[in-house]
Amino acid sequence: MPVHRDDYDFDACTGMFLKDTDVLVLYSSRFDGIEDPDGDANRQLGVGDQRVQAWFEPFGNVTARNPPRGFRR
């Protein structure tokens, strides 16, 4: 990316490059059980389904990659 006056605004970088950082609460024992979308804390914070089986589901606003396309090597 080109040089920009906000290059050291790390909060903006996080917002620009990462779609979602809600998953970070899973590393805190303070939030045990928050991964369950039916739990009170999850509903209050609105973090959605953080259970393992949901980790690889695409975000709703992103077009899924065409699996037969292959990868560059």
**Residue 14's pLDDT is what?**
79
Please tell me the pTM assigned to this model. 0.53
The CA distance from 58 to 23, in Å, is 14
Mention every residue, 6+ apart, whose C-beta is less than 8 A from residue 62: 19
DSSP 23: G
**Measuring CA to CA, how many Å separate 60 from each of 23, 53, 63?**
16, 16, 8
Two tokens, residue 16 = 């620009």
pLDDT value, residue 13: 77
Question: Residue ranges of the domains in the chain?
Answer: 20-58
Mean pLDDT throughout 36-48?
A: 89
pLDDT at 73 over 70: no
Q: How many CA atoms lie within 13 A of 20 on its CB side?
A: 15
